[in-house]
A and B are shown apart, each in its own frame.
Chain A
Amino acid sequence: MSDPSRLEARAVSLAYDGTTVVPELSVAIPPGSFTVIIGPNACGKSTLLRGLSRLLAPAAGSVVLDGRDISSYPVKEVARRLGLLPQSALAPDGITVADLVGRGRYPHQSLLRQWSSADEIAVKEALDATGTADLSTRPVDALSGGQRQRVWVAMVLAQQTDLLLLDEPTTYLDVAHQVELMELFAELNARGRTVVAVLHDLNHAARYASHIIAMRDGRIVAEGTPREVITSARVEEVYGLPNVVIDDPVTGGPLVVPLRGGAFAARAAQAAAELDA
């Protein structure tokens, strides 16, 4: 049908401090897709992303990148093929946007080859792609949340990788900035990058993803196109949220609408009554 997957997990077990978070999971990221991993808190979706990007070594099984076990590559080589934007990135005090984006060129540099015109071009392209070129001289800590997040994305783009992994890139942003970033990712995907993102927002996933992986308790519950995965029954199974799924008036895909009333409302009414008493 299509090219083989470039990034797969084969019977991978991931654990923190001896506690297994993801037991024996296998998944293949479809090449050229916009894959979104969804699931409730603590379902292991960030852990899976960390395992796929080599940040977390599997306790069992293997992660395969371009046909080889990911741990057999030199670390910089992995960084040239796979870019990850983790949740916890720190910007040094006072660093400018251009400098921070420039740090993304590290995997392409070495002691003998410190900074070249290729690096310069990559930074420029990354800034242009994220619309942050006019911010390049400003210190990162003076930017708004939305601008800062775009700068981090630019940094990962400067790595010039075909695979882009994003761990909750839109959390803490207002809705306009969230949409802005999702459109950017969709654009990057349309131009050939494989994007894998962990998202909280179901409807973002429904609108932008070409492939959805739904997780719960460290296991994959469902996998497929948004139409296939995002059904009312499935959403309730994964999140425990009573809902209806209607057709999105803009895209035609599924749109999840939580129900009012029901078990949640009953619990809330009781709690409020207890507070008043």
Chain B
Amino acid sequence: MTSVVPPRVSDTAPGSARIGRTAIGTLVLVAVLAVSVALSLMIGANPLPWHTVWASLTGSGTPDTDFVVQGLRVPRTIAGLVAGAALGVAGALMQAFSRNPLADPGILGVNAGAAFAVALTVALFGIQSSLLLVWPAFLGALVVTVAVALVGSSGRGPADPIRLTLAGVAVGAVLSGITSGMMLSNPDAFDLMRGWNAGSLLGRGVDLILPVVPFIAVGLAVAFVLGRPLNALALGDDLARAQGLPVGAVRVASIAAITVLAGAATALVGPLSFVGLMVPHVVRWIVGPDQRRILPLSALAAPIVVLLADVLGRVIIAPAEVPAGIVTAFVGAPVLIALARRRKASAL
């Protein structure tokens, strides 16, 4: 009788209609993504028209515009693309893997682990440089996720989803308690963490992005390969095994991919709430429950959310900025609530 949020398979459109929707959906997403990238390059404290941006990108801009476009906006746009894709796919993987529509990579302890590691590093070593903090954040996310996976593993095979969620909540709680303790007893740590906790694309230069990209690339590759096995897994473990699926291996691979993707993204931009939770839902609504479609489209759709949130953050209280992580919550949560209200009571 006890259960964490019960899983449901969402409604689907009939076969041929779905292919049509997928094709149109993909085109629309690519177009919107292009627009988002353009907006991200154009908008800011110093708004630039597109031809100026283009000039700067093609090498014929002035030193001033080059500084803004190439020095500031291109890196942050790339960070948004990379982190967004990673979070979107990680979220889709998480939901498919745990058969839980409310699953978010953060449940595995990614955010808690990264925050803990960052706070610890600042408290112990006084390091404040973002570049140096990427590594502890990544490492923290990885270690904690593995720990959660171990705690959550039961005799039923590695990583039973329900137990995993509980384990994530528990480990996350312990870590957040210790992190808070560190923050509250060390003003430097507090100051840095309150900024890091917001999740932002600001100041994420190419030097920060480059180390993370290989991990995200590998994670995405593994994720796309898992599309078909995850479809089989959605039918339930027994049925999947009957089809010859190595359930345990698929689970382990999924967690590994989720960990690397979410860990790398969080290490790069901090915790961006709701992206991983919300984007797969919307994608699923468009293209149906086929993971081979959901995963790539999530990789396209999530960066849109991140970039637009970032752009919005630049605009709302210009010239100051609202960090993207805060905007995503205000964008994502209403979508989630609308989803919960729109369908029948227990389905999502």
Contact = CB atoms under 8 A, between A and B. Distances in A.
Please say whether the chains A and B touch (CB closer than 8 A). Answer: yes
B164 to A, nearest CB: 20
Contacts of A92: 1
Interface string A86-102: 00001111000000000
B254 to A, nearest CB: 29
Nearest to A93: B1
Interface of B: 1-2
Interface of A: 90-93
Contacts of B1: 90-93
A88 to B, nearest CB: 12
5 contacts: A90-B1, A91-B1, A92-B1, A93-B1, A93-B2
A43 to B, nearest CB: 21
A168 B1 CA distance: 22
Contacts of A91: 1
B4 to A, nearest CB: 14
A91 B1 CA distance: 7
Nearest to B2: A93
Contacts of A93: 1-2
Nearest to A94: B1
Nearest to B344: A17
Nearest to A91: B1
Nearest to B1: A93
B208 to A, nearest CB: 48
A226 to B, nearest CB: 38
A251 to B, nearest CB: 40
Contacts of B2: 93
B343 to A, nearest CB: 12
B341 to A, nearest CB: 14
A22 to B, nearest CB: 20
A92 B1 CA distance: 6
A90 B1 CA distance: 7
A90 B2 CA distance: 11
A51 to B, nearest CB: 20
A178 to B, nearest CB: 26
A92 B3 CA distance: 12
Nearest to A90: B1
A93 B2 CA distance: 7
List the 3 closest pairs (A to B, CB-CB), nearest first.
A93-B1, A90-B1, A92-B1
B1 to A, nearest CB: 5
B306 to A, nearest CB: 37
A35 B2 CA distance: 36
Contacts of A90: 1
A234 B1 CA distance: 42
A90 B6 CA distance: 15
B326 to A, nearest CB: 38
B166 to A, nearest CB: 15
Nearest to A141: B1
Nearest to A17: B344
A93 to B, nearest CB: 5
B311 to A, nearest CB: 40
A137 B2 CA distance: 22
Nearest to A95: B1
A151 to B, nearest CB: 15
A93 B1 CA distance: 6
B143 to A, nearest CB: 33
